[in-house]
């Protein structure tokens, strides 16, 4: 018996040894069959299955790489050649597998090298933050005059500056204006003309420079960082710098004239209020810092007459109020990506630009049997317009040059050039070079590998999640709950990426309105955590109360209550002065898409009234909005140039409002003949979160579909003779 076991064990070792060696696909006669494959953004597992069915050979890959997306555009090429070239590009290996087939695996050295590249990216970002901190600290040591002189010297040598000098100049611009000031007798800061510009970004730089090393690690993790004059636990000391006039004690005067409305500050205190601070947060993938600079000044408000005198009875008593300046800035940092060995490997692998240019034709020359290329752009949003992925550009090159093309693929790899049948293939080289490494090998293949693919793959959403929703959106059958289901599947890394892409151009390109998903993602993830019974209750219009939520649902509820910045009180160890007077409300939806606002007729005043009578128990409410259709003016690039919501007006003045909208549409088309009118049909939901302590979050989830629209003629009295 033991001899049988030994034989089995030896046979197993032999098979393991054989499978451990990469397979030479060219030695398999079955794979000499010529194949034609035209796949774009295809998961590797599905692409291999499709090729395997063509040649009758089982082809697989390990689960770890099954969802990685590839482009394969080849015609009449031996299967073994295509498959070998593809795995060489991906740095994978073929191994024999059961049933006489083959499996793709990631070699261990390759896996470890790509992990090191991810760690290198973080180290590079940390190094960039430290360099920025060092430069700011050095600049702040200089007297104002020396900052001005250094800035002028660097400006004079602008064309020949190195990276370090460019960073210093970028920082000197706001920091020079920040320093070159004097305090007037009334306390206002006077900034000297010609010495750069005043920017609140200077405060963000100064606060970053005040952070210790441990805080920089938290910054890279995307955590909120607080600084204040009275630091609470976990909050850092706010630097000793004068705040903007608006954030110190002052008198705010309003002057109404026939031509303008002016706001004037007087009696500005020369010192900062007792309570002042900043919240800041880094979006690491974009290098953008969002920040809120705030204080609690004592204020007075008054109105001036045309002669500049205070109108009798208009001056208020002094009161406390939280004032703030919120903004964001793109950090002037160099990520030092090229320091990694993996980056250098791909740089050496790529074909030089000059050789690529000579290898591509000036004019497209597609195969005679191929139909004209019909590119289908993605609609990236009402304010962005049409976009293509690099996969679309590579498909166009395969069509236009008849070259076999292989590449990895990502939905987040945008290209702005409009793909047209008569476009020069060489015109795509520059935009592609910004995204990918390109190589033409001896067999004539054009191959592409995306830069930072080891990071991009962490955030890529599987095609099996996206394509069903795209098919439903194409049929106008998508609904809120389809987006809830997708939101519930996303990993933390994917959620972080989407939230960081909210106001940037690198959101994934889809054929459904992904902006609606991103805008409402916290609310959709809360809905995804609910049971069927809880969803049915919300669908009836009834509120769902806090006591009916389990612990994980309550966590999602609190995440949905997010505001742009944490509460001001969390900065301070002592209670802030009571806000004795409420300044004009800035309540708004937590969404950025333009069309959502047509669904929501709630005014800030009505919202304020609702918040003054909070519910006895925190709740969430779901309201389905009525559909609304109205014309929009669309630019050739696909973005919405103008909305004519008045065309759909109802009520007493509907006819007059509609007439004005028709007149405005005719005028707009006369002024911009390259625009077109379509009807936008908008449907959606309001998702509202109200707490018993008057916290509030409101999301407007909108789905919009373009429909044909015929412009009515001008009213008879306005027609041309």
pLDDT band at 137 (very low <50, low <70, confident <90, very high): very high
| Residue 40 lies inside a defined structural domain of this protein | yes
Using the predicted structure, report yes or no on whether residue 144 has a pLDDT greater than 70: yes
What pLDDT does residue 7 have?
Answer: 47
Per-chain mean pLDDT for the chain:
86
pLDDT band at 12 (very low <50, low <70, confident <90, very high): very low
User: How is the beta sheet containing 386-389 ordered, strand by strand?
Assistant: 378-379, 386-389, 414-415
- For 673, phi then psi, to 5°, come to -70, -15
Q: Considering the chain, what percentage of its residues have pLDDT values greater than 70?
A: 88
| Residue 12 lies inside a defined structural domain of this protein | no
| Residue 338 lies inside a defined structural domain of this protein | no
Contact 699, 523 (CB under 8 A): yes
Cα gap 349→344, rounded to integer Å: 9
Q: What is the Cβ-side half-sphere exposure of residue 423, based on CA atoms within 13 angstroms?
A: 20
Most confident of 85-89, 250-254, 412-416: 85-89
**Residue 177 is encoded by which pair of tokens?**
């204006």
**Residue 30 is encoded by which pair of tokens?**
């079955």
List, for residues 609-646, the tens digit of each pLDDT value: 776 788 899 999 999 988 889 999 998 888 888 889 88
Based on the fold, state whether residues 589 and 660 are members of the same structural domain.
yes
Per DSSP, the three-state class of 499 is: helix
Based on the fold, state whether residues 98 and 130 are members of the same structural domain.
no
Contact 622, 701 (CB under 8 A): no
Cα gap 399→318, rounded to integer Å: 72
Using the predicted structure, report yes or no on whether residue 183 has a pLDDT greater than 70: no
Based on the fold, state whether residues 478 and 527 are members of the same structural domain.
yes
For 503-552, the DSSP string reads TSTTSPP-SS-HHHHHHTHHHHHHHHTS-HHHHHHHHTT--EEGGG--HH
pLDDT band at 351 (very low <50, low <70, confident <90, very high): very high
- Cβ neighbours for 338, distance < 8 A, ≥ 6 positions apart: 344, 347
What pLDDT does residue 193 have?
Answer: 56
List, for residues 259-286, the tens digit of each pLDDT value: 666 777 888 888 899 999 999 999 877 7
Using the predicted structure, report yes or no on whether residue 225 has a pLDDT greater than 80: yes
- Mean of pLDDT values over 301-307: 81
pLDDT band at 407 (very low <50, low <70, confident <90, very high): very high
Q: What is the Cβ-side half-sphere exposure of residue 377, based on CA atoms within 13 angstroms?
A: 19
| Residue 15 lies inside a defined structural domain of this protein | no
Cα gap 640→678, rounded to integer Å: 10
List, for residues 359-378, the tens digit of each pLDDT value: 999 998 887 777 777 778 88
Based on the fold, state whether residues 512 and 430 are members of the same structural domain.
no
Per DSSP, the three-state class of 278 is: strand
What pLDDT does residue 264 have?
Answer: 78
Q: How far is CA 716 from the centre of its chain?
A: 48
Which H, E and C letters describe 70-129, residue by residue?
EEEEEEEEEHHHHHHHHHHHHCCEEEEEHHHEEEEECCHHHHHHHHHHHHHHHHHHHHHH
Based on the fold, state whether residues 482 and 446 are members of the same structural domain.
no
Which of 425, 456, 487 delimits the end of a domain?
A: 456
| Residue 622 lies inside a defined structural domain of this protein | yes
Based on the fold, state whether residues 209 and 145 are members of the same structural domain.
yes
In this structure, the number of other CB atoms found within 10 A of the CB of residue 289 comes to 21
Which of 106, 138, 154 delimits the end of a domain?
A: 106
Cα gap 460→507, rounded to integer Å: 10
Based on the fold, state whether residues 420 and 489 are members of the same structural domain.
no
List, for residues 58-96, the tens digit of each pLDDT value: 999 999 999 999 999 999 999 999 999 999 999 999 999
- Mean of pLDDT values over 158-173: 88
Based on the fold, state whether residues 221 and 75 are members of the same structural domain.
no
Using the predicted structure, report yes or no on whether residue 592 has a pLDDT greater than 90: no
Per DSSP, the three-state class of 611 is: helix
What pLDDT does residue 371 have?
Answer: 79
**Helix-helix angle 480-489:521-528, to 10 degrees:** 90
Q: 36: domain CATH number?
A: 3.55.50.30
What pLDDT does residue 421 have?
Answer: 78
Based on the fold, state whether residues 127 and 217 are members of the same structural domain.
yes
Cα gap 77→35, rounded to integer Å: 5
| Residue 378 lies inside a defined structural domain of this protein | yes
Closest residue by Cα to residue 164 from 175, 172, 156: 172
Find the domain containing 40 and state its range: 23-106
What pLDDT does residue 653 have?
Answer: 85
List, for residues 467-493, the tens digit of each pLDDT value: 999 999 999 999 999 999 999 999 988
Which of 106, 134, 164 delimits the end of a domain?
A: 106
Based on the fold, state whether residues 356 and 214 are members of the same structural domain.
no
> Which of 315 and 223 is assigned the larger pLDDT?
223
Most confident of 247-261, 283-297, 307-321: 283-297
For 120-176, the DSSP string reads HHHHHHHHHHHHHHHHHHHHHHS-HHHHHHHHHHHHHTGGG--HHHHHHHHHHHHHH
Using the predicted structure, report yes or no on whether residue 5 has a pLDDT greater than 50: no
Based on the fold, state whether residues 193 and 130 are members of the same structural domain.
yes
Per DSSP, the three-state class of 593 is: coil
**Residue 507 is encoded by which pair of tokens?**
């959101």
For 433-489, the DSSP string reads HTTEEEEE-TT--EEEEETTHHHHTTTPPPHHHHHHHHHHHHTT---HHHHHHHHHH
Using the predicted structure, report yes or no on whether residue 15 has a pLDDT greater than 60: no
List, for residues 434-454, the tens digit of each pLDDT value: 899 999 999 999 999 999 999
Cα gap 298→249, rounded to integer Å: 5
Rg (CA), the chain: 31
- Residue that is written with structure tokens 């519910």 in the block: 615
Using the predicted structure, report yes or no on whether residue 590 has a pLDDT greater than 50: no
pLDDT band at 357 (very low <50, low <70, confident <90, very high): very high
Using the predicted structure, report yes or no on whether residue 9 has a pLDDT greater than 50: no
Contact 187, 250 (CB under 8 A): yes
Using the predicted structure, report yes or no on whether residue 8 has a pLDDT greater than 70: no
Which helix (H) or strand (E) segment is 236 a member of?
Answer: strand 236-237
What pLDDT does residue 423 have?
Answer: 86
- Cβ neighbours for 591, distance < 8 A, ≥ 6 positions apart: 519, 520, 699, 700, 701, 702
Closest residue by Cα to residue 469 from 516, 503, 501: 516
Sort 689 into a burial class: Cβ within 10 Å, 0-12 / 13-18 / 19+.
buried
Closest residue by Cα to residue 82 from 359, 371, 403: 403
pLDDT band at 586 (very low <50, low <70, confident <90, very high): very low
What pLDDT does residue 192 have?
Answer: 58
Total of domains in the chain: 4
pLDDT band at 163 (very low <50, low <70, confident <90, very high): confident
Cα gap 447→429, rounded to integer Å: 13
Closest residue by Cα to residue 274 from 207, 208, 320, 212: 320
Based on the fold, state whether residues 608 and 707 are members of the same structural domain.
yes
What pLDDT does residue 114 have?
Answer: 92
List, for residues 487-524, the tens digit of each pLDDT value: 999 998 899 888 877 655 578 999 999 988 998 999 99
pLDDT band at 17 (very low <50, low <70, confident <90, very high): very low
- Mean of pLDDT values over 226-245: 93
What pLDDT does residue 187 have?
Answer: 63
List, for residues 655-668, the tens digit of each pLDDT value: 899 999 999 999 99
- Cβ neighbours for 575, distance < 8 A, ≥ 6 positions apart: 569
| Residue 1 lies inside a defined structural domain of this protein | no
| Residue 61 lies inside a defined structural domain of this protein | yes
């Amino acid at each position: 018996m033991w001899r049988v076991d030994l034989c089995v064990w030896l046979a197993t070792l032999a098979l393991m040894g054989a499978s451990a060696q990469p397979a030479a696909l060219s030695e398999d006669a079955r794979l000499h069959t010529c194949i034609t494959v035209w796949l774009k953004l295809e998961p590797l597992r599905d692409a291999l299955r499709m090729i395997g069915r063509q040649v009758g050979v089982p082809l697989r890959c390990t689960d770890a790489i099954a969802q990685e997306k590839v482009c394969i555009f080849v015609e009449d090429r031996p299967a073994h050649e295509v498959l070998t070239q593809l795995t060489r590009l991906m740095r994978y290996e073929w191994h024999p597998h059961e049933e006489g087939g083959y499996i793709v695996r990631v070699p261990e050295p390759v896996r470890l090298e790509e992990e090191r590249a991810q760690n290198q990216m973080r180290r590079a970002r940390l190094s960039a933050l430290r360099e920025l901190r060092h430069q700011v600290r050095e600049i702040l040591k200089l007297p104002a005059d020396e900052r001005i002189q250094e800035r002028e010297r660097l400006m004079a040598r602008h064309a020949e500056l190195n990276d370090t000098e460019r960073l210093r100049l970028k920082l000197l611009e706001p920091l020079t204006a920040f320093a070159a000031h004097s305090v007037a007798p009334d306390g206002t800061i006077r900034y000297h003309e010609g010495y750069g510009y005043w920017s609140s970004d200077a405060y963000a730089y100064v606060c970053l420079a005040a952070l210790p090393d441990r805080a920089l690690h938290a910054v890279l993790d995307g955590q909120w960082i607080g600084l204040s004059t009275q630091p609470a636990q976990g909050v850092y000391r706010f630097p000793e710098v004068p705040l903007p006039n608006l954030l110190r004690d002052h008198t705010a005067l309003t002057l109404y004239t026939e031509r303008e409305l002016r706001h004037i500050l007087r009696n500005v205190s020369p010192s900062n209020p007792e309570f002042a601070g900043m919240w800041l947060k880094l979006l690491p993938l974009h290098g953008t810092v969002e920040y809120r600079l705030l204080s609690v000044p004592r204020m007075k408000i008054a109105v001036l007459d045309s002669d500049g005198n205070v109108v009798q009875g208009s001056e208020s008593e002094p009161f406390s109020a939280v004032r703030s300046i919120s903004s964001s800035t793109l950090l002037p940092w160099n990520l030092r990506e090229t320091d990694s060995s993996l980056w250098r490997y791909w740089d050496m692998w790529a074909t030089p630009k000059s050789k690529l240019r000579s290898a591509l034709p000036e004019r497209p020359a597609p195969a005679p049997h191929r139909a004209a290329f019909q590119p289908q752009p993605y609609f990236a949003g009402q304010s962005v317009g049409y976009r293509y992925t690099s996969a679309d550009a590579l498909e166009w090159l395969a069509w236009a040059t008849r070259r076999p093309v292989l590449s990895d693929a990502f939905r987040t790899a945008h290209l702005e050039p409009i793909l047209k049948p008569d476009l020069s293939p060489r015109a795509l080289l520059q935009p592609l070079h910004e995204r990918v490494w390109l190589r033409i090998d001896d067999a004539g293949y054009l191959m592409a590998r995306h830069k930072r693919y080891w990071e991009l793959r962490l955030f890529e959403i599987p095609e099996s999640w996206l394509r069903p929703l795209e098919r439903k959106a194409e049929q106008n059958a998508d609904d809120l709950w389809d987006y809830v289901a997708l939101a519930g599947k996303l990993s933390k890394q994917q959620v972080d990426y989407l939230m960081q892409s909210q106001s940037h151009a690198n959101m994934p390109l889809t054929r459904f309105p992904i902006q609606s998903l991103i805008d409402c993602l916290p609310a959709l993830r809360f809905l995804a955590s609910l049971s069927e019974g809880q969803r049915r209750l919300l669908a009836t219009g009834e509120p769902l109360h806090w006591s009916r939520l389990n612990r994980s649902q309550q966590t999602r509820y609190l995440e949905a209550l997010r505001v742009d910045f944490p509460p001001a009180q969390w900065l301070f160890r002592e209670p802030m002065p009571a806000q004795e007077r409420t300044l004009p409300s800035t309540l708004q939806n937590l969404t950025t898409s333009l069309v959502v606002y047509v669904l929501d007729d709630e005014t800030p005043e009505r919202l304020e009234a609702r918040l003054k009578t909070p519910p006895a128990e925190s709740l969430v409410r779901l309201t389905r909005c009525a559909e609304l259709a109205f014309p929009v003016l669309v630019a050739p690039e696909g973005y919405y140039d103008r909305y004519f919501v008045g065309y759909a007006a109802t009520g007493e003045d509907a006819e007059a409002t509609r007439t004005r909208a028709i007149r405005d549409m005719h005028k707009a088309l006369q002024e911009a003949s390259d625009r077109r009118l379509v009807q936008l049909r908008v449907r959606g939901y309001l998702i509202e979160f109200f707490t018993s302590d008057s916290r509030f979050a409101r999301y407007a989830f909108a789905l919009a579909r373009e429909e044909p629209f015929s412009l009515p003629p001008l009213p008879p009295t306005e027609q041309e003779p």
